[in-house]
Amino acid sequence: MPNKFLRMKIKELVNLKDKESIFRFFNDRINTYNDELNAFTEIIPDPDRTSGEGPLNGIPYALKDNILARGTKTTCGSKILSNYKSVYDATVTKRLRDSGAILMGKTNMDEFAMGSSTEFSAFGPSKNPWDANRVPGGSSGGSAAAVAAGLVPFALGSDTGGSIRQPAAFCGVVGYKPSYGLVSRYGLVAFASSLDQIGPITRCVDDAVEVAKVIIGFDPDDSTTIEHPLNFENEEPKDLTGLKFALPGEMIEYPGLQESVKEVFIKMVESIEKAGGIVEKVSIPSLKYVVATYYLIAPGEASSNLSRYDGIRYGQRKDADRYEEVVNQSRDFGFGDEVKRRILLGTFTLSAAYYDAYYRKALRVRKLISKEINEILSKYDFVINPTSPIVAPKIGEISDPLTYYLMDIYTIPANLAGLPAISLPAGAYEGLPVGFQMMARRFEDVRMLNTARILEKLSPSYDENGLARIAERWY
């Protein structure tokens, strides 16, 4: 099959008449390369290709393994759910099926989306297509690796503290987290319900828009979705002239920012200024608290959401004589170390003795962070920063949990404030991709996406077709 399909955007693929050739091409790539990448945990041998003709008709895609698709396994990367089969479709899955998209399989992830590398998966780590000795990021690492290697044109991930954008940055592709409430979470296995959001990983902003048009929309099955129709046909700005970009000093002066990442990011900033954009350094003092705030709120919500996995109602059961032993042994067997760590942390902070001292205080700081970011966005069009302070580390290189937690320092603010954010490939350092993140006011997703289209043209990471480059290894 011709590699020309790797050089075509989704809209161009949709317009091709020979949909079976497109399917066979990507199906062959998955079967050829997945053993090397471990991007998929389940490959559907003969996916349904008769689901109707819609805006994504005939386009193959992959689904992160915490999003339900009827008849497929939904393991969340955990032993405790290794045998669970979805009995219904998530809303996003149904909408994609109705649009004509073809589900090729489920992608690997950090267990219950708790991680930044996809190393915390019960099914082994996924590999970064740019360097198989390195992580693809997480928790949506399998989705990012699949798109970056050209195994599928797009994939869905979930983003609780950066789990779409950070792996997109590590793998040199586009990761878009919509405003909280635009995309239904019905059928997404919950990690932290006030932070989780589903979004696309693609090779260009145009493709992210095509997917967003399908999955965004009010859903009566999810009370957190909002009736806020977006006009994707808004005229795209022709240039950056007059647009104001805020660069928080707390982010660019963060001591954990690798010099190589900073160098690539600054080159992108200089390109924005040459193109007519206005970049000004600002201060958002509360940003220094984002990691601590997130790791009090998210584990607290997780400890509540994961309490259902007891081997009785949900999850694999380990038999024992007493109820307490069944629960304890089932959880001890089924949950990995990182999930146990976060459940313990969350249960501790929600306990009566420490609720006011930790959890309630974190909720107040979350409001402060949101207030300060929104005050900046009332004066500027966008907030920009590197997506991750580092390039993709080697598999097994990091063992300290706190180091992993700090990898999300640039992506967490958008989740705490419920804002839209997007990561674009901005260049590379010694062959390893570097991501550029842009954050906008809530529900100004279209304006952000339209501006991101212009920024893509300033990046050296794109080919002549406007698609993020993939390593020659995968052509």
Tens-place pLDDT, residues 159-175: 999 999 999 999 999 99
Catalytic residue among 99, 121, 139, 158: 139
Q: What is the pLDDT of residues 221-263, one digit of tens each?
A: 999 999 988 999 877 778 999 999 999 999 999 999 999 999 9
Kindly indicate the confidence band of residue 374, based on its pLDDT and cuts at 50, 70 and 90. Answer: very high
Question: Is residue 457 annotated as a catalytic residue, yes or no?
Answer: no
Structure confidence at residue 235 (pLDDT): 72
Query: Would you state the pLDDT for residue 316?
Result: 86
Which pLDDT score is estimated for 383?
A: 98
Average pLDDT score over residue span 118-130:
97
Return the pLDDT at 94.
Answer: 97
CA distance 427 to 459: 6
184-195 pLDDT, tens per residue? 999 999 999 999
Residue with structure tokens 């073809």?
102
Q: What is the pLDDT of residue 319?
A: 86
Question: Could you tell me which residue, 375 or 314, shows the higher pLDDT?
Answer: 375
Residue 466 scores a pLDDT above 60: yes
Q: What percent of the chain has pLDDT over 90?
A: 89
Strand arrangement of the beta sheet that strand 40-43 belongs to: 40-43, 102-107, 60-64, 154-159, 197-202, 174-177, 421-429, 432-439, 382-386, 244-248, 278-282
Distance CA 105, CA 61 (A): 8
pLDDT at 352 over 80: yes
Query: Which of these, 185, 186, 211, lies nearest to 196 by C-alpha position?
Result: 185
Confidence of residue 50 (pLDDT cuts 50, 70, 90): confident
Whether the Cβ atoms of residue 68 and residue 93 lie closer than 8 Å to each other: yes
Taking CA 126 as the corner, what is the angle to CA 462 and CA 343, rounded to the nearest 5 degrees?
Answer: 115
Question: Backbone dihedral region of 315: left (phi > 0), alpha (psi from -120 to 50 degrees) or beta?
Answer: left
Which residues, in sequence order, are CB contacts of 370 under 8 Å at separation 6+?
416, 417, 418
Output the average pLDDT for the chain. 95
Question: Does residue 437 surpass a pLDDT of 70?
Answer: yes
C-alpha separations of 69 from 11, 17, 86, 316, 398 in Å: 24, 27, 6, 20, 33
Helical spans, DSSP H, in 275-336: 290-305, 323-334
- Structure tokens of 441? 């006011």
Coil/strand/helix, residue 20:
helix
Active site residue 163: yes
Catalytic choice (64, 94, 106, 127) = 64
Q: Inform me whether the pLDDT recorded for 320 exceeds 90.
A: no
- At residue 99, does pLDDT exceed 80? yes
What sign for the dihedral angle of Cα 146, 147, 149, 151?
positive
Residue 420 · residue 452 · CB < 8 Å? no
CB 199 within 8 A of CB 156: yes
Question: For the chain, how long is the longest CA-to-CA vector?
Answer: 71
Q: Determine whether domain 3-238+398-474 maps to CATH 3.40.50.9100.
A: no
pLDDT digits (tens, 9 = 90+) for 18-35: 999 999 999 999 999 999
Among 163, 286, 330, 459, the one annotated catalytic: 163
What does the buried/exposed string (b/e) look like for 35-51 if buried means 16 or more CB atoms within 10 Å of the residue's CB? eebbbbbbbbeebeeeb
Question: How many angstroms separate the CA atoms of 57 and 52, rounded?
Answer: 7
Closest C-alpha to 284, from 239, 248, 326: 248
Residue 260 appears among annotated catalytic residues? no
Most confident of 50-54, 326-330, 407-411: 407-411
Q: Is the pLDDT of residue 1 over 60?
A: no
Do the Cβ atoms of 86 and 74 come closer than 8 Å?
yes
Do 107 and 43 contact (CB within 8 A), yes or no? no
What is residue 194's predicted lDDT score, i.e. its pLDDT?
A: 97
Average pLDDT over residues 109-125: 97
pLDDT surpasses 90 at 427:
yes
Q: Please say if the pLDDT value at position 51 is more than 80.
A: no
**pLDDT for 337:** 94
